Structure 1
Amino acid sequence: MTNICIAPGTEISLHFSLGIIGGDEVDSTFGGKPATFTYGDGSLLPSVEAKLLGLSAGAKETFTLEPQDGFGQRNPGNIQRFPRSQFAADMVLEEGLVISFADAARTELPGVVSEVGDDHVMVDFNHPLAGRNLAFRVEILSVSAQADPK
């Protein structure tokens, strides 16, 4: 039996963990249900998928992701200043609080309070992992050829 390598269209089952280098683990499937997806279906960042190419069942790897390969660089333009009066008077605002906003298309957009002043609130709409160097650890459990659609 041939050991199938990860390639476009293969079905993959794996455990992974994602963490900030020198910091906390952000997400992990180790100790739980593995992630299963088809290579190229958009489940993973393209830069992560590229690092998986050619691996086969049993492979264990740890990759470093620079910001441009992960969630991008932080954009100062994604930090917005709002008048305090735009928030309910009884709302307790503190740094780190995540607030859900609606963008122009009525899509939910989370923002993190980064500063609270007497008359203003600064909200950061950057992805929380933007600008971070990340460690992506993976254990490939299985790789199989995708079934032909009939």
Structure 2
Amino acid sequence: MKQVKAGDVVKVHYTGKLVNGEQFDSSVGREPLEFTVGAGQMIKGFDAALPGMIIGDKKTINIAPEDAYGPRSEEAIIDFPKANVPADMKLEPGMPLTLSNQAGQPVPVVVVEVKDDVIVLDANHFLAGQELVFDIELVEIA
């Protein structure tokens, strides 16, 4: 049986959960996820779980924040000038927004607090600082 190694293109089904069991993503009921093992297309901990697996293998892995989306960063908490927001836009804590960075790429943020002259935004990835649990099933090695 062929085992997965770095550089292989694989297809997997997965379910991603927080340690409390709350599911945040799954390929079940959709096409399996295809990626190249070791090419940096996936979070480090997910990528590292595949080598040695054979088609049909299933495993559950726990991934520490540093091998997933990293720790939460206070530097990603931004004071955004309220003057830069349309006056008719109603902002509330917890509301998701998308800003553009200097390169024009979209940056998802969440409103933390609305003050008189600034809006406090959180640009951390929503899974930053979280330990993640993935159920993985290897479907194909291309």
TM-score, structure 2 as length reference: 0.91
Quote the residue 1:40 is aligned against: 38
Quote the residue 2:94 is aligned against: 96
User: CA offsets per residue over residues 35-92 of structure 1, 9 Å max, x none?
Assistant: 1222233331232211111011111111111110110000001101123222111101
Quote the residue 1:108 is aligned against: 106
Taking the aligned partners of 2:133 and 2:19, their CA distance within structure 1 comes to 6
Taking the aligned partners of 1:11 and 1:78, their CA distance within structure 2 comes to 34
Taking the aligned partners of 1:84 and 1:38, their CA distance within structure 2 comes to 43
Where structure 2 has 5 or more consecutive residues not aligned to the other structure, the ranges are none
Q: Which residue identity lines up with residue 83 of structure 2 in the other structure?
A: S
User: CA offsets per residue over residues 91-118 of structure 1, 9 Å max, x none?
Assistant: 0101122211111122211211111223
Q: Which residue identity lines up with residue 20 of structure 2 in the other structure?
A: G
- Determine if contact 2:12/2:137 at 8 Å carries over to the other structure: yes
- Determine if contact 2:78/2:122 at 8 Å carries over to the other structure: yes
Taking the aligned partners of 1:84 and 1:13, their CA distance within structure 2 comes to 45
Taking the aligned partners of 1:116 and 1:8, their CA distance within structure 2 comes to 47
Taking the aligned partners of 1:37 and 1:102, their CA distance within structure 2 comes to 27
Q: What's the offset of the Cα at 1:140? A: 0.8
Q: What's the offset of the Cα at 1:27? A: 1.1
Counterpart selection for 2:27 from 26, 29, 34: 29
Using the aligned pairs only, state the percent identity: 33
Structure whose alpha-carbon radius of gyration is higher:
1
SS of the residue aligned with 2:66?
helix
After superposition, residues 1-150 of structure 1 pair within 5 angstroms as: 3-144=1-142
Where structure 1 has 5 or more consecutive residues not aligned to the other structure, the ranges are 145-150
Bigger Cα displacement from structure 2, 121-130 vs 97-106: 97-106
TM-score, structure 1 as length reference: 0.87
Taking the aligned partners of 1:41 and 1:126, their CA distance within structure 2 comes to 24
Taking the aligned partners of 2:21 and 2:13, their CA distance within structure 1 comes to 20
Aligned length: 142
